[in-house]
A and B are shown apart, each in its own frame.
Chain A
Amino acid sequence: MATANVPDYLNPDSIRTGLSRRKMLDQVFVIVGLVLMFACLGILAVLFMNLVLDGSERFGWDFFTNFPSRRAERAGILGAWVGTSLIMLVTAFCAVPVGVAAAIYLEEYAPKNWFTAIIEINVTNLAGVPSIVYGLLALGLFVYQFGLGQSIAAAGLTLALLILPIVIVATRESIRAVPKSIREAAYGLGATRWEVTKDHVLPYSTGGILTGMILGLSRAIGETAPIITIGALSFIAFLPSSPITSEFPFISFQWLSDPFTAMPIQMFNWVSRPDQAFQANAAAAGAILLGMTLLMNAVAIWIRYRFRKKINW
């Protein structure tokens, strides 16, 4: 077919076969991509279903109201979920104000100089520090230097530091999304920087801030390594003292310094027992933990969607 002076790659037939081969490769890649993606999602779905099924025999009222026990079928997560809730309270209380304030500073106030650059680099780097290193930091700093001991306060502060970068990044993004014209209008009427921020920028970025807060807490709720490092107890048969008392100030902060356990710690404890019966407890605790994280994420996505729809610049 090919004549002597036309090179082979210009021959219409070879172009055609080359083209169909390249198109076939495209098809092959599409199949490979789809298969891999659905394989990953599928494996994870099967694993999650497996978790729920393994744990199903333990689900029940008793599981939430019993302390851990030597007998698997009677062991529950009372201490764990109370501990986790109290830790989350401390974490949210510390991480949200500090994170939002830091984000406001970086977006609205910070001059463009080396000092601001240092803060920004720090926030980025902190997000990449392995979580167990936060545990070591907390062990050295909160537990021994500050003398907080192996307490709920120490755990809450640790997780607050851990999620600080998440809250800062989310808040910055939502503040950045507020158009400049809104700020300029307020400045034009003589508002000071703080008045502009407080009355105009923050109300518009509430959705993003809430999303960041929930995503941060959903990360904190599942973190195991840092709170093992500061010394969470895995077998605990009493509750922290109640934050509400019957006598006068009616509020007590004694619980802050109480020892604790938490959901992921409890699950880890059960998983690492050789006795097979406890695997069902681990699965049930894992399913509840997973359910809580997924629920928090779903709420965050919903809030983001709601606020995005409501705002028309």
Chain B
Amino acid sequence: MASTAATKSNDLVSRSGLRYRKIRDRIVETFLLAAGLVAVFTTLAIVVILLTESAAFFDHVSLKDFLTDTMWTPLFADAHYGILPLVAGTLTTTIVALIVAVPVGTIIAIYLSEFASHRLRETVKPILELLGAVPTVVYGYFALTAVTPLLQMLMPELPGFNMLSAGLVIGLMIVPYVASVSEDAMRAVPRYMREGSYAMGATRLQTALRVVVPGAFSGLAAAFILGISRAVGETMVVAIAAGMQPNFTFDPREQAATITAYIVQVSLGDLPHGSIGYQSIFAAGLVLMLITLIFNVIGFSLTRKFREAY
């Protein structure tokens, strides 16, 4: 027993042992680096795939038609390739969702961060995070079977598929998300700033609105941008509850397809690889990525501009 331990420790300090361990370290490091590069390759692959398939699409469709035509019917005999109806649908559901999520999420975040007791906050926060994990297809079921009938009681002429119900449910879905991220941002505002404000005689609400919110503004902007990205990219709720007919309108009471719903609709059918319909979903995906990118750039510049350093 003792002798094996001795040889082992000899092995550890001997030159050949050391060299072996150093070589092993290099090999392991290479593997770890390769794993890290998977993330980079994923991004590259997304860009390359979207661009090459879209390029094939734009061989058939002129960019002018794509951006100005107000009809999107790639699978019909009379094919039109105007992306505007899909973009309109995406923006409408997103705006409805944000009208719900931004005020409600922010108020909940302010309440949790500035007013709630420690215990309430520690109970509610995990619940909020749990809600973020609910599969979106379940939210789609809510939109179609609970929210739409409820809205139809208020607005009898509302069709069975409509963007209002989808947007409201997406809003409800991202409230926990916006609230949780905003609350983190507000809690990062240092204590002494609040105390300074209280010392000047401000109430909690005044401190929250005039000191904490401006101080956490860059974090709040980031939360809203994350919320927007989620709403823009949300697929199942709109595919289930908003209908899949492209419809160039900004009226949330109508049914319309979003970019994501169109991709789902095409994928449900069996389109041959390389057909124009197949390529069109990549062009739609590219537009989706660009919209997300634009919002992220706006968010990034906002956070840069309003960043407060303590």
Binding site for B on A (CB under 8 A): 22-23, 25-26, 29-30, 32-34, 36-37, 40-41, 43-44, 47, 50-51, 54, 97-99, 101-102, 104-106, 109-110, 118-119, 122-123, 125-126, 128-137, 139-141, 144, 161, 164-165, 168, 190, 192-195, 215, 218-219, 221-225, 228-231, 234, 264, 267-268, 271-272, 279, 282-283, 286, 289-290, 293-294, 297, 301
In the assembled complex, how far is the CB of residue A113 from the closest CB belonging to chain B, in whole angstroms?
13
Are B138 and A225 in contact, with the CB atoms below 8 A?
Answer: no
Q: Assuming A128-B226, A225-B235, is B172 touching A43 (CB within 8 A)?
A: yes
Are A51 and B141 in contact, with the CB atoms below 8 A?
Answer: yes
Are B133 and A105 in contact, with the CB atoms below 8 A?
Answer: no
B155 beta carbon closer than 8 Å to chain A = no
Within B127-148, the residues touching A (CB, 8 Å) are 127, 129-131, 133-138, 140-142, 144-146
Are B134 and A222 in contact, with the CB atoms below 8 A?
Answer: yes
Q: Which residues of B contact A135 (CB under 8 A)?
A: 263, 267
In the assembled complex, how far is the CB of residue A294 from the closest CB belonging to chain B, in whole angstroms?
7
- Which one of B46-54, B59-67, B192-200 is at the interface? B46-54
**Main SS at interface, chain A:** helix
Are B31 and A101 in contact, with the CB atoms below 8 A?
Answer: yes
Binding site for A on B (CB under 8 A): 12-13, 21-22, 24-25, 28-29, 31-40, 42-43, 45-46, 49-50, 52-53, 104, 107-108, 110-112, 115-116, 124, 126-127, 129-131, 133-138, 140-142, 144-146, 172, 175-176, 203-206, 208, 226, 229, 232-236, 239-240, 260, 263-264, 267-268, 270, 273, 281-282, 285, 288-289, 292, 296
Candidates A40, A51, A195; contact of B172 at CB < 8 Å: A40
**How far, in angstroms, from A286 to B36 measured CA to CA in the complex?**
35
**Which of the listed residues A104, A136, A215 has the most CB atoms from chain B within 10 Å of its own CB?**
A136
**Main SS at interface, chain B:** helix
Q: Which residues of B contact A123 (CB under 8 A)?
A: 39
Q: Which residues of B contact A218 (CB under 8 A)?
A: 133
**How far, in angstroms, from A261 to B242 measured CA to CA in the complex?**
24
**How far, in angstroms, from A310 to B107 measured CA to CA in the complex?**
36
